[in-house]
Structure 1
Amino acid sequence: MSTLTGKTAVVTGGGRGIGRAIAQRLAADGARVGVHFGTRAEAAEQTVHQIREAGGSAFSFGAKLGEPGDAERLWTAFDEHDEGVDILVNNAGILGSRTSFTDLTREAYENVFAVNTTAPVFVTQQGLSRLRDGGRIVNLSTRFTHGMRIPELLTYAMSKAAIDAFTATLAKDLAPRGITVNAVGPGSVDTDMNAARLATPEGRAAVAAQSPFNRVAQPEDIADIVAFLASEDARWVTGQWIDATGGSML
C-alpha cells in the first residue's frame, strides 16, 4: 500500500516547478492531489494530466493569491472537489524584483508579502476547518532566512522569515490535534525562477558549485523532502525548518 493512500493533499502553485514535482510525488505516494493555480490553468491541467497518466488521482482548481479574499476563493474552489484535506503544502510564491534597499518601492514590497506571507497564513487559517486531525502542513521557505544574505532579495527573505516564525508558532498551536507544521528551505533549484541564471554553462556551473555535491538541485530533490514531512514517518517532526540546500551553507 502506498504511504498516502486515502489522503487528500493540496499544493498551492502546483502547476509548475517545485510545486509540480511535489504534486506528482504526493500522488505517486497515493494521495489525491488538488493542484492549485493562480492564473496559469493550463500548467495546472498539465500537471493533473501527468499525474493521471501515471495512475494517480488529481484535480485542478484556481484562485489568484495576493489579493483580498484569496483564501476564501481558494477553499470555495476546493470544496467543489472534496470535503476535507489531510496535507496542505503552501508552495506558491514569488521572488519579486532584485533591487537595492534604497530603490525598494512600497508597492513591490507589499506585493511580495501579499503572495508569500499573507496568502499562506490565511489559506492555512481558512483551511483548518477542512484539515483533518493528524494532518500535515508544509510551508516552502528559503535558505535566505538561514545564513545566506543577498541584499537585492531583502524583501523575499523577509517574507519567508515571517513564514518560518509562522511555522514554529503554528506547530505548537496545532499539536493537540496531531497536526505537524514544518518548513522546507531550498537553495537554487532548476525552475523558471532561476532560468536566467542557469541559461549559460558558466551560470549553471556557478550555481552547481554552491553545493558540495557540485550539481544544480532539481525540483524532485525538494519534493522528496516534502513527501517525507507529509508522511506518517515524520509524525515526530514539527515546528522545524528543514535545510534543503544540498549543503550549500556548510
Structure 2
Amino acid sequence: MNSIVIGANSAIASAIIHQLAPSCDNLIAISRKALITDNDNINSIVCDYSETSITNAVEQIAKMQLPSIDRIYICNGILQNETIQVEKRIENFNRDAFLSVINANTITPILWLQALFPLTRKQKCKVVVFSARVGSISDNRLGGWYSYRASKAALNMLLKNLSLEFAKRAKGVKIIAFHPGTTDTSLSKPFQQNIAKDKLFTPDFVAQQLESVVNPIQTDGQLSYIDWQGKDISW
C-alpha cells in the first residue's frame, strides 16, 4: 500500500503515520518541516502550502512513479492561534482572521486534491479529509465559532462537488470527510475543560478508529461525512 499524509507534523497525522507505516510500501509525509525518521519507507516532503509549493510537492510524488496511491489523508487545518481566536460573539468577527481560516481549512485541501487529481483519477484511492461536526449546518445548536464553522461547511460543499465529479471522471476515488471527535492536541487544549474524560481522545485512538471505519468503506460516487465511530453526520 502507498499512502500520502498531508500535515504530517500534527499530532493526529503523526499517529496515522505510526499506524500506517508497518503496512505501507511507501508513505509520503508532507509538512512544513522535514519529518525526522529512520524508516526507509517514509519519504518526507517539505511544503509551505502555497500553490507553487503544492505543485512542486506533487511533482516530486509523480517522479517516484508509484504503482498506485491507495490512501490520501489531508490533516492540516487551523482553529485558532496567536493572532486568530474563535468568535464567541458577532463583535469578535474579523475579516482577516476569517480569510486566514478559510484559506487553511477550505482552500488548501481543495488545492491538494486538484493537484493530485492527475495521479489518482485512474486508480482506486480513498481520500480522507479532516472536517468537523461543527461544519454541519443542521447540527449547529450553539452558534459561535463563525470562521471555523463556515470553513468546514464550505469544505464539505466543495468535497461534495468533487465527489460528484469524481463519480464521472475518477470512479475509483472515494472521498471521506472525517470528524475525529475532540482529540487531546494543542488545537483543543483551550476547550478541554468542559469535555468528559471519556470523550477526549488520544491521537492514537483516533488513528485506530479512522482505519477501522475507512477500511470497509466502498467506492460509491458519494461523499461520506462520518465521525470517529463511522456514523453519518447530518449536513
Q: Is the TM value for this pair above 0.5?
A: yes
**Which residue number in structure 1 is paired with residue 98 of structure 2?**
109
With over 3 angstroms needed to count, the CA separation of the structure-2 counterparts of 1:141 and 1:27, relative to structure 1, is: same
**Which residue number in structure 2 is paired with residue 3 of structure 1?**
none
**Which residue number in structure 2 is paired with residue 207 of structure 1?**
195
Does residue 98 of the first structure (1) align with residue 86 of the second (2)? yes
Where 1:190 maps in the other structure, the secondary structure is coil
What displacement does 1:236 show?
4.4
**Which residue number in structure 1 is paired with residue 10 of structure 2?**
16
Preserved contact between residue 138 and residue 229 of structure 1 (Cα < 8 Å): no
> 1:97-246 residue pairs with structure 2 within 5 A?
97-99=85-87, 100-131=89-120, 132-146=122-136, 147-149=139-141, 151-176=143-168, 177-198=171-192, 203=193, 206-208=194-196, 214-228=198-212, 230-231=214-215, 233-236=216-219, 238-244=222-228
Preserved contact between residue 187 and residue 245 of structure 1 (Cα < 8 Å): no
* Segment drifting more, 94-103 vs 111-120: 94-103
Preserved contact between residue 182 and residue 199 of structure 2 (Cα < 8 Å): no
Please list every run of 5 or more consecutive structure 2 residues that lacks an aligned counterpart in the other structure: none
> Which AA in structure 2 matches 1:75?
V
> Which AA in structure 2 matches 1:244?
W
With over 3 angstroms needed to count, the CA separation of the structure-2 counterparts of 1:102 and 1:246, relative to structure 1, is: farther
Q: Distance in 1 between matches of 2:177 and 2:8?
A: 17
Q: Distance in 2 between matches of 1:35 and 1:71?
A: 13
Q: Distance in 1 between matches of 2:214 and 2:181?
A: 20
Where 1:85 maps in the other structure, the secondary structure is coil
Q: Distance in 2 between matches of 1:22 and 1:16?
A: 10
> Which AA in structure 1 matches 2:195?
V
How big is each residue's C-alpha offset from its partner over 1:193-233, in whole Å with a ceiling of 9 and x where there is no partner? 123444xxxx2xx3126xxxx341121232234324653x3
Identical columns (%) = 20
Q: Distance in 2 between matches of 1:31 and 1:163?
A: 30
Where 2:166 maps in the other structure, the secondary structure is helix
Find 1:59's aligned residue among 32, 37, 43.
Answer: 43
* Segment drifting more, 134-143 vs 217-226: 217-226
Supply the RMSD in Å over aligned alpha carbons: 2.7
Preserved contact between residue 63 and residue 77 of structure 1 (Cα < 8 Å): no
What displacement does 1:70 show?
4.2
With over 3 angstroms needed to count, the CA separation of the structure-2 counterparts of 1:220 and 1:175, relative to structure 1, is: farther
Q: Distance in 1 between matches of 2:214 and 2:25?
A: 10
Q: Distance in 2 between matches of 1:246 and 1:188?
A: 15
Q: Distance in 1 between matches of 2:14 and 2:103?
A: 22
Q: Distance in 2 between matches of 1:114 and 1:225?
A: 28
**Which residue number in structure 2 is paired with residue 75 of structure 1?**
58
TM-score (norm 2): 0.81
Preserved contact between residue 167 and residue 240 of structure 1 (Cα < 8 Å): no
Please list every run of 5 or more consecutive structure 1 residues that lacks an aligned counterpart in the other structure: 1-6
TM-score (norm 1): 0.76
Find 1:86's aligned residue among 46, 55, 70.
Answer: 70
What displacement does 1:241 show?
0.5
Preserved contact between residue 140 and residue 185 of structure 1 (Cα < 8 Å): yes
What displacement does 1:36 show?
1.0
Q: Distance in 1 between matches of 2:23 and 2:92?
A: 45
